[in-house]
Amino acid sequence: MDSTGAIGILGGYGAVGTAVVRRLHHAGIGPLLVAGRDAARAEACVESLGAGSTALSAQAVDLWDASLDSFLARCRLVVNCAGPSYRVLDTVARAALRHGVDYVDAAGDDPLHARLSAQAGGVDEWATAHRTAVLSAGALPGLSGLLPRVLLDQVARPVRLEGYLGGVAALTPAAAGDVLLARGPEHGIPSAAWEDGQTRDRALEPRRGLTLPAFPRPVTAFPFLSTEAVRLAQAAGIRWVRWYTVFGGERLAEELAMSWALDDTETAGLVRAADADVRRHGSWYGQQFHLWTGTDDGPPARTLTLRAEDSYELSGFLAATVAQHVLAGHVKPGVHFAADVLDPSSTAESLARDPVAELEMN
């Protein structure tokens, strides 16, 4: 990798991007180039974090014109925090590959992985170019696939895994777009479970009034077998997986169900519903995993609980961690998911020491 270029953070003044910029800047990594469509917001981000610092600069970038190429020409690595990811897709990643720039995506899941890992004439473009692309470097997907591995690495015979992920949080328009469009078999299957090596449709019902240590109040958990959970089950040879999306409020779940039923792609209603939930219940986020070993009878053998106030900060933690690993040459060329290339135990230890979250294992 060219060590003379900048580390670009696209969408660097957004909720996740700001967290990434702040973490990399505090770690002494740079120079950092904060980019996005709004030049004033990019400049304000730079000013707030390091007024007068030569290690921070800003640039206006529109993904859909030549400014993306001029931005990438200044970079050695780009962390993409722009969204919504269903619209961005592989636009930034493909441009990064053309410019010989390594790529980290704070979102980007199976559809993006499929696009980037598609081989042309039997040749893996990223590996051949000695470039690295790491996707799903956020809270979900990302930590949601990494943290269960901490438990799995500690046991010999895992048989059943349950995951509960969600909470209450304000939605940015980009995040609302990703929530709205994160459906279909390329993302996961509602009400499904993993049983004996295959997906079983309509296997589970929602769990209402559920009390778990990861969440400060009773929640509603909707079964959703994500593709990330399926990959984890296949890699670990787990017989049964039950995966749930958690809502700590009522309005967002209702608005999302209505939007899906009407096939509505407008995000304003979701943003308002999320804000209403935050006003009523506060802002909080959690992930909880239960693992059974040997048998699925009785209580789980191991449990991991993550509590946080802000899921965007969690995404910033993981995206910045991945960026540092790529810069250090610890990730081989090719296309990867973050959960597959980070060490689960050391990442969890770093997260446990970080004020962004509380992490407990028993």
Tens of pLDDT, residues 251-287: 999 998 888 888 777 889 999 999 999 999 999 999 9
Query: What pLDDT is attached to residue 52?
Result: 64
Q: How far apart are CA 130 and CA 174, in angstroms?
A: 31
185 pLDDT above the threshold of 80: no
Q: Which two tokens stand for residue 72?
A: 């990438």
CB contact at 8 A, 246 and 219: yes
Q: What is the DSSP letter of 356?
A: T
Q: Which two tokens stand for residue 29?
A: 């990594």
Torsion of CA 214, 217, 223, 224, to 10 degrees: -60
**6-139+314-357 against 156-300: fold identical:** no
Domain boundaries, the chain: 6-139+314-357, 156-300
Q: How far apart are CA 255 and CA 320, in angstroms?
A: 32
Q: How far apart are CA 284 and CA 121, in angstroms?
A: 47
CATH number of 156-300: 3.30.360
- β pairing state of 284-293 and 158-168: antiparallel
Placement of tokens 């690295």 in the chain: 132
> 317-346 pLDDT, tens per residue?
999 999 999 999 999 999 999 999 999 999
Q: How far apart are CA 123 and CA 119, in angstroms?
A: 5
CB contact at 8 A, 105 and 112: yes
CB contact at 8 A, 148 and 359: no
Query: What pLDDT is attached to residue 1?
Result: 47
Which of 66, 63, 61, 26 lies closest to 42 in space, CA to CA?
Answer: 61
Burial per residue of 109-120, b for 16 or more beta-carbon CB atoms within 10 angstroms, e otherwise: bbbbbeebbeee
Q: How far apart are CA 307 and CA 351, in angstroms?
A: 11
Query: What pLDDT is attached to residue 179?
Result: 79
DSSP assignment of 143-155 equals HHHHHHHHHHTT-
Mean of per-residue pLDDT scores for the chain = 92
Torsion of CA 360, 340, 192, 190, to 10 degrees: 90
Q: Which two tokens stand for residue 3?
A: 């060590």
Query: What pLDDT is attached to residue 3?
Result: 59
Q: What is the DSSP letter of 335?
A: E
Query: What pLDDT is attached to residue 122?
Result: 62
Query: What pLDDT is attached to residue 76?
Result: 97
In degrees, rounded to 5, the angle at the alpha carbon of residue 297 between the alpha carbons of residues 292 and 298 is 85
Task: Return the CATH number of 6-139+314-357, one of 3.40.50.280, 2.60.120.560, 2.30.110.10, 3.40.50.720.
Answer: 3.40.50.720
Q: How far apart are CA 81 and CA 112, in angstroms?
A: 14
Q: Before 344, cis peptide (omega within 30)? A: no
Helices 173-181 and 251-262, axial angle in degrees (round to 10): 60
Q: Which two tokens stand for residue 173?
A: 């328009």
In degrees, rounded to 5, the angle at the alpha carbon of residue 51 between the alpha carbons of residues 175 and 316 is 25
pTM, rounded to two decimals? 0.94
> 108-144 pLDDT, tens per residue?
889 899 889 876 566 779 999 999 999 999 999 999 9
Q: How far apart are CA 179 and CA 149, in angstroms?
A: 25
Q: How many residues appear in the chain? A: 362
